[in-house]
Amino acid sequence: MALVGVMRPGHAQIRVLDLEEGIHFYRDVLGLVETGRDTQGRVYFKCWDERDHNSLIIRQADRAGIDFFAFKVLDKATLDKLDADLRAYGLKTERIPAGDLLETGERVRFEIPSGHLIELYADKTCVGNGLDMVNPRPWNANSERGIAPIRFDHGLLYGPNIAAVQKIFTEVLGFFLVERVLTPDGKGNVAIWLSCSHKVHDIAFVEHAEPGKLHHCSFLLESWEEVLRAGDIMSMNKVPIDIGPTRHGITRGCTIYAWDPSGNRFETYMGGYQPYPDYQTLTWTFDELGPGLDYPQRKLHETFLTVVS
């Protein structure tokens, strides 16, 4: 599938309560590669197999959560067009100058009805994955430290008015609705999974009264065995686990959910089917949300539904 317009999730900036604790966790336990620190006190990371300079940024704050979630677009012309399209749709946009984030070009920022700040950008310095461009090896030393995911995969955000959010993503940004969970009365959606690519989702939203909440950032692993290994590493480091290892009915992904030291949930994930834009949206009724979340146990987990940052 030719990728045009919005191509993929690019980065998320999250808040941690103790910066040094957060650095240790994301670098040494999750196994991300630290790529820089800026004068604002932010620390930058990428997954070992990512080419661009950063995909996760952390900063210290008095409460956990997410500052913004960003997508990379094809080029500068696409960025300008989407900025104009968003404004024509009625959204206020802000141009963040190049260099505000390390090694990152100009960004277009806008707030969606769920209370989240979304960004688009076209340029970020390519630092490579440490492998040769000719006759590359399949892995390097960075792939062996900690859990070592290969990429930042997606995010799940909680907030109000996801019906309006869906319209922005599908009508303006070119995403398509892959799966949904109906409200108890069957008249609306309580959760939506959206894709701009060949992935089962690039971002997802759940209806929630409080705006701007983070449910999780997800990091991709290559196999079920690596998910199980991630569980071992979490236990060795006394990382509190929410759910898993298990398999979702929704998306078919295999997963472990856990919390960083500040209470931000993260996911180690693999699998999922590969949809195309012409596929019909898969629908889950509210009474079957249990197997949608945890297919083997067919149960809802209270913390998964209620704990956000």
Positions annotated as catalytic residues are 154, 201, 216, 248, 257, 267
Q: From CA 61, how far away is CA 145, in angstroms rounded?
A: 27
Q: From CA 104, how far away is CA 20, in angstroms rounded?
A: 24
Cβ atoms of 223 and 229 closer than 8 Å: no
Q: Which long-range contacts (CB under 8 A, 24 or more apart) does 225-229 make?
A: 226/147, 226/268, 226/270, 227/254, 227/255, 227/256, 227/268, 227/269, 227/270, 229/147
What is the amino acid identity at position 207?
Answer: E
Cβ atoms of 68 and 12 closer than 8 Å: yes
List Cβ neighbours of 227 (8 Å cut-off, separation of 6 or more). Answer: 221, 244, 245, 254, 255, 256, 268, 269, 270
Burial grade of 74 (CB within 10 A; 0-12, 13-18, 19 or more): middle
Q: From CA 10, how far away is CA 122, in angstroms rounded?
A: 10
List Cβ neighbours of 63 (8 Å cut-off, separation of 6 or more). Answer: 15, 17, 309
List Cβ neighbours of 135 (8 Å cut-off, separation of 6 or more). Answer: none
Backbone angles phi, psi at 222, to 5 degrees: -95, -15
Q: From CA 198, how far away is CA 211, in angstroms rounded?
A: 29
